[in-house]
């Protein structure tokens, strides 16, 4: 059995570097069928939980369209998947981030070299120049937004303008972890393609491939079982003591609205000062807990608490991004998160 890489960063590949898609056969067929029809909708919203392969599917579709520009060609009519050989020139250019027919909108670095917490309006306005130019490539142009959740209000409005009057042979693939929170005006201009959490066998195979491990590795099986169908979550849980940290966080959440400051101090110490995997595990545990509470409150029509929890979650996301982007101390975040949740659940 090959040894699993110990550094979590090594295990996680960018979706543009991933040529294999596990699961999501129905979603892939929907995209392929629409393209082969010659009347594909110009914008798609790929929605679903984080880490299940939405961006991987978006890049897979982009490679296919840019490698096969004529959807009505006989070879396209025989195609059964969106697979493109990694050695194909288009695939290699996309992996290198150098294909003139693909624009990717994602959070970039600011002037200080720190990852932004949002996609800005200036970055989004690049779509106007991209779709308006003629020199780079002929035929299809594809724009991937990863994720539309990261657009600030001005950026969302800028994207909306070009979605309202899409250029010919343009394709927008919008990734969203929370489709219900996307602007209704953007939603109305997209074909919605919901992606479900993966089957546990698919999570195991994907995690094994990403970490160069054997599929029967007990650690991978344990992480997959706790992943709730998310490869991203399984990979995170494989790093260090992430699984134990999530379990510790869950135990404290179960006691809300009671909060023990001593235990929060200990949890803050466990997060360290620069461990990105530990921070991700903590926030992921909070996300899962809030998501479950939101579902329960929605089912019970508890609208006041539903609104409070949704507002708190937005604040937590912003605080977590700032903590990661600026490498801030973790302990104040832990205290802030638990006090906000305690107040929201009273």
- 128-168 residue pLDDT tens: 888 876 544 578 999 999 999 999 999 999 999 999 999 88
Question: 46 and 187, same structural domain?
Answer: yes
Residue 185 lies in a domain: yes
Residue 278 lies in a domain: yes
Number of structural domains (the chain) is 2
More confident residue, 74 or 31: 31
Question: 160 and 31, same structural domain?
Answer: yes
Question: 333 and 248, same structural domain?
Answer: yes
73 and 38 in contact (C-beta within 8 Å)? Answer: no
Q: Which CATH number do you get for residue 48?
A: 3.40.50.300
Question: 170 and 35, same structural domain?
Answer: yes
Question: 139 and 36, same structural domain?
Answer: yes
**Taking residues 213-237, what's their average pLDDT?**
90
Residue 286 lies in a domain: yes
Residue 225 lies in a domain: no
- Residue 164 CA, chain-centre distance (Å), reads 25
Of the three residues 170, 194, 218, the one that is the final residue of a domain is: 194
- What separation in angstroms does the CA of 148 have from each of 46, 54, 136, 183, 256? 10, 12, 25, 10, 32
Using pLDDT thresholds of 50, 70 and 90, give the confidence band for residue 238.
Answer: confident
Nearest CA to 257 among 346, 337, 158, 128? Answer: 346
Of the three residues 167, 194, 221, the one that is the final residue of a domain is: 194
Residue 115 lies in a domain: yes
Question: 176 and 286, same structural domain?
Answer: no
Q: For the chain, what is the mean pLDDT? A: 88
Question: 161 and 60, same structural domain?
Answer: yes
Using pLDDT thresholds of 50, 70 and 90, give the confidence band for residue 3.
Answer: very low
For the chain, the straight-line distance linking the first and the last C-alpha, in angstroms and rounded, comes to 50
Question: 38 and 166, same structural domain?
Answer: yes
Residue 16 lies in a domain: no
Question: 257 and 179, same structural domain?
Answer: no
Question: 245 and 150, same structural domain?
Answer: no
Specify the DSSP class assigned to residue 265.
H
Residue 226 lies in a domain: no
pLDDT at position 134 is 52
Domain limits for position 180: 24-194
d(CA 36, CA 157): 31
pLDDT at position 327 is 81
Highest mean pLDDT among 61-75, 112-126, 234-248: 61-75
**Number of C-beta neighbours around residue 290 at 10 A:** 18
Question: 262 and 120, same structural domain?
Answer: no
Residue 6 lies in a domain: no
Highest mean pLDDT among 77-81, 135-139, 276-280, 295-299: 77-81
pLDDT at 305 over 90: no
pLDDT at 180 over 90: no
Using pLDDT thresholds of 50, 70 and 90, give the confidence band for residue 260.
Answer: very high
Of the three residues 165, 194, 223, the one that is the final residue of a domain is: 194
Using pLDDT thresholds of 50, 70 and 90, give the confidence band for residue 4.
Answer: very low
d(CA 202, CA 56): 14
Question: 190 and 253, same structural domain?
Answer: no
pLDDT at 43 over 60: yes
């Amino acid at each position: 059995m090959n040894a699993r890489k110990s550094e979590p960063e090594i295990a996680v590949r960018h979706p543009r570097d991933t040529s294999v898609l596990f699961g999501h056969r129905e979603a892939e067929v929907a995209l392929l069928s629409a393209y082969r029809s010659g009347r594909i909708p110009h914008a798609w919203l790929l929605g679903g939980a984080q880490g299940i392969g939405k961006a991987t599917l978006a890049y897979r579709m982009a490679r296919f369209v840019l490698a096969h520009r004529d959807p009505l060609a006989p070879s396209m009519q025989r195609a059964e998947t969106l697979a493109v050989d990694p050695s194909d020139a288009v695939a290699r250019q996309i992996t290198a981030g150098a294909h003139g027919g693909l624009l990717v909108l994602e959070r970039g670095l600011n002037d200080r070299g720190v990852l932004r917490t949002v996609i800005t309006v200036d970055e989004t306005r690049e779509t106007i120049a991209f779709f308006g130019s003629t020199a780079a490539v002929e035929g299809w142009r594809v724009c991937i937004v990863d994720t539309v959740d990261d657009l600030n209000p001005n950026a969302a409005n800028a994207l909306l303008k070009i979605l309202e009057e899409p250029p010919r042979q343009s394709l927008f693939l919008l990734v969203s972890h929370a489709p219900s929170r996307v602007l209704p005006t953007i939603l109305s201009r997209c074909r919605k393609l919901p992606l479900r959490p993966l089957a546990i066998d698919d999570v195991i195979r994907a995690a094994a491939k990403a970490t160069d491990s054997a599929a029967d590795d007990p650690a991978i099986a344990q992480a997959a079982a706790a992943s709730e169908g998310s490869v991203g979550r399984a990979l995170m849980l494989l790093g260090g003591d992430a699984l134990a940290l999530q379990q510790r966080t869950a135990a404290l959440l179960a006691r809300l609205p009671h909060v023990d400051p001593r235990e929060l101090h200990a949890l803050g110490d466990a997060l360290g000062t620069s461990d990105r995997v530990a921070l991700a595990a903590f926030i992921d545990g909070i996300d899962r807990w809030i998501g479950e509470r939101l579902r329960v409150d929605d089912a019970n029509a508890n609208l006041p608490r539903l609104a409070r929890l949704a507002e708190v979650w937005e604040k937590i996301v912003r605080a977590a991004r700032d903590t990661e982007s600026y490498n801030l101390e973790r302990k104040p975040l832990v205290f802030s998160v638990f006090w906000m949740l305690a107040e929201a659940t009273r």
